[in-house]
């Protein structure tokens, strides 16, 4: 079973013959479609690099996701773009001191010093404020907001909203909504099966 670990204890690794590009979104159709190897016991950055660049494979880009999934390719597919480094927070099982991606996130590497072309990062520049929509219930076993998500021991309302700006209209904090935010005890960040829900608004709406 894979486990999430604190990113402060982990570092991305730049190999001698490779460049670390960052943490990238892996869309449902996959960012890299050239070849795949899965090893949840021994995966490391170098193991993935060797698989993707030697033998029958000769791919210039590779990445590790969810700790033990190695993907190779020649370019990034539509829907993949740079994410937050904190989204890649799973340790490599073969070397727990370094990062091997995260859920739907690739620790991306390549042979070129220049990062590969990617889908533009989605940011809605028309919305600059957010307003509370109240405390909402969330059914057991079913997510009210089923898009992207992030877990952080430093969560605040602002950090949740900043995360959302790259991904989606509503943003919710789950953590009756009276539990203090882990990153700011003066704010409330939902509760068990409860979401503190916020919505982006334009400057005109906020006036």
Residue 16: pLDDT band (50, 70, 90) is low
Q: What is the pLDDT of residues 143-157, one digit of tens each?
A: 666 555 666 566 676
Q: Name the more confident of 109 and 146.
A: 109
Q: Across all residues in the chain, what is the average pLDDT?
A: 75
Q: Name the more confident of 5 and 76.
A: 76
Q: Name the more confident of 97 and 1.
A: 97
Both structure tokens of 145 = 């907001």
Both structure tokens of 197 = 């829900």
User: Do 63 and 100 meet the contact criterion of CB atoms below 8 Å apart?
Assistant: no
Helices (H), the chain: 45-53, 157-165, 203-206
Q: Name the more confident of 151 and 64.
A: 64
- Residue 92 sits at the vertex; the CA angle it makes with 163 and 143, to the nearest 5 degrees, is 40
% pLDDT > 90, the chain: 37
pTM score:
0.58
- Bridge partners, 202 (sequence order): 127
């Amino acid at each position: 079973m894979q486990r999430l670990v604190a990113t402060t204890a982990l570092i991305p690794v730049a190999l001698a013959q490779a460049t670390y590009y960052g943490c990238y979104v892996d869309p449902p159709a996959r960012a890299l479609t050239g070849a795949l190897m899965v090893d949840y016991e021994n995966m490391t950055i170098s193991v993935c690099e060797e698989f993707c660049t030697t033998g029958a494979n000769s791919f210039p880009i590779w990445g590790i996701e969810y700790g033990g999934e190695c993907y190779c390719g020649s370019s990034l597919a539509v829907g993949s773009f740079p994410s937050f480094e904190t989204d890649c927070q799973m340790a490599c099982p073969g070397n727990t001191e370094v990062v091997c991606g995260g859920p739907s996130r690739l620790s991306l590497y390549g042979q070129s010093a220049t990062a590969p072309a990617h889908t533009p990062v989605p940011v809605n520049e028309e919305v600059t404020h957010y307003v509370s929509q109240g405390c909402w219930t969330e059914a057991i076993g079913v997510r009210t907001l089923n898009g992207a998500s992030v877990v952080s021991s430093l969560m605040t309302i602002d950090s949740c909203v900043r995360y959302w700006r790259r991904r989606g209209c509503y943003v919710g904090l789950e953590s009756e909504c009276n539990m203090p935010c882990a990153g700011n005890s003066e704010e409330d960040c939902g509760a068990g099966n409860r979401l503190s829900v916020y919505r982006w608004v334009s400057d005109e709406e906020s006036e």
